């Protein structure tokens, strides 16, 4: 669907504007001709099955993968900039300050050999924090916010449960107060009861910090509870895009209809 067909009343500048983004693996399509705007405080869900291009898209947006064509314009402190054309060092700085990336597997986002407090403190030191007492105090504060008790601060995450590791990864990512969080299947390998707790935590953080987020998942129940807007991908293309409950309750595209009608009801 063409987003330009909508009339817009609210007047904020987008935090991220994506235009004509494409990534090919040889002749195979990763994702093609993706365009959208993300506004401050908005949560965008991207759904689709394995191979639909949703992870490729997320990697291109977060600067982990260079797209073949297209623009990813981010509202930096110094004004809108195309992150695709940025120097690598500048993009890395953005990834440390304004962005955060929550991986499906906490092992990809944590340093397993250092303590929980060290994991959180390391992000702070990367943006210039030097005072040990302050760093430790902030680490304790954040462990509390993700419901990890302060007496585990010196333990290594390798001894944590999957749900705790995921919450620690979120604390490590959010401690520096980013404006945009990329999440790749954040509730992926977790038990449903742990998922619910994580969803509640994420909703609260999005609200309190005014965060924007782009969440890739194949779980329609997760996006219904977390995302304001939804993009449905198939074969590298965005086939449908709109308000989350509209896309799920009144899907227009054949593929979305199939996806929604295939969910088992409990």
HEC assignment per residue over 67-115: CCEEEEEEEECCEEEECCCCCHHHHHHHHHHCEEEECCCHHHHCCCCCC
Residues that bind another protein (CB under 8 A): 3, 5-10, 39, 42, 192-193, 196-197, 199-200, 203, 207, 224-225, 228-229, 242-243, 245-246, 248-250, 252-254, 257-258, 261
Cβ-based nearer residue to another protein, 95 or 183: 183
Reduced to 3 states (helix: H, G, I; strand: E, B; else coil), residue 142 is helix
> Shortest gap between Cβ of 250 and another protein (angstroms)?
4
Name 18's bridge partners: 36, 72
- What order of strands is seen across the sheet that includes strand 16-25? 28-38, 16-25, 69-76, 79-82
Cβ-based nearer residue to another protein, 84 or 222: 222
> Shortest gap between Cβ of 17 and another protein (angstroms)?
14
Cβ-based nearer residue to another protein, 94 or 223: 223
> Shortest gap between Cβ of 249 and another protein (angstroms)?
4
Cβ-based nearer residue to another protein, 45 or 121: 45
> Shortest gap between Cβ of 201 and another protein (angstroms)?
10
Beta-carbon count within 10 A of 17 CB: 18
Cβ-based nearer residue to another protein, 13 or 108: 13
Closest CA to 168 of 158, 178, 177: 158
> Shortest gap between Cβ of 145 and another protein (angstroms)?
14
Cβ-based nearer residue to another protein, 39 or 182: 39
DSSP string, 190-257: S-HHHHHHHHHHHHHHHHHHT-EEEEE-S-HHHHHHH-SEEEEEETTEEEEEEEHHHHHHS--SHHHH
Contact 60, 23 (CB under 8 A): yes
> Shortest gap between Cβ of 27 and another protein (angstroms)?
29
């Amino acid at each position: 669907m063409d987003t330009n067909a909508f009339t817009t009343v609210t007047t904020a500048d987008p935090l991220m504007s994506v235009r004509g983004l494409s990534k090919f693996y040889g002749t195979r399509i990763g994702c093609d001709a993706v365009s959208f705007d993300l506004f401050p405080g908005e949560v965008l869900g991207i759904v689709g099955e394995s191979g639909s291009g949703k992870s490729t898209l997320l990697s291109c947006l977060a600067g982990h993968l260079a797209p073949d064509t297209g623009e990813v314009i981010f509202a930096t402190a110094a004004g809108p900039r195309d992150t695709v054309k940025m120097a690598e060092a500048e993009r890395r700085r953005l990834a440390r300050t304004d962005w955060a990336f929550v991986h499906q597997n906490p092992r990809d986002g944590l340093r397993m050999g250092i303590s929980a407090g060290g994991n959180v403190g390391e992000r702070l030191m990367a943006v210039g924090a030097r005072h040990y007492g302050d760093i430790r105090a902030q680490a304790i504060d954040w462990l509390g916010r993700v419901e990890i008790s302060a007496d585990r601060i010196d333990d290594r995450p390798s001894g944590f449960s999957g749900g705790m590791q995921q919450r620690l990864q979120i604390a490590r990512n959010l401690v520096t107060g980013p404006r945009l969080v990329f999440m790749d299947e954040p509730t992926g390998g977790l038990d449903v009861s742990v998922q619910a707790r994580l969803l509640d935590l994420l909703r609260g953080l999005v609200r309190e910090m005014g965060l924007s987020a782009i969440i890739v998942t194949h779980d329609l129940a997760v996006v219904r509870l977390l995302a304001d807007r939804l993009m449905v991908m198939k074969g590298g293309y965005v086939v449908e895009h709109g308000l989350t409950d509209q896309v799920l309750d009144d899907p227009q595209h054949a593929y979305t209809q199939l996806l929604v009608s295939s969910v088992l009801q409990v």
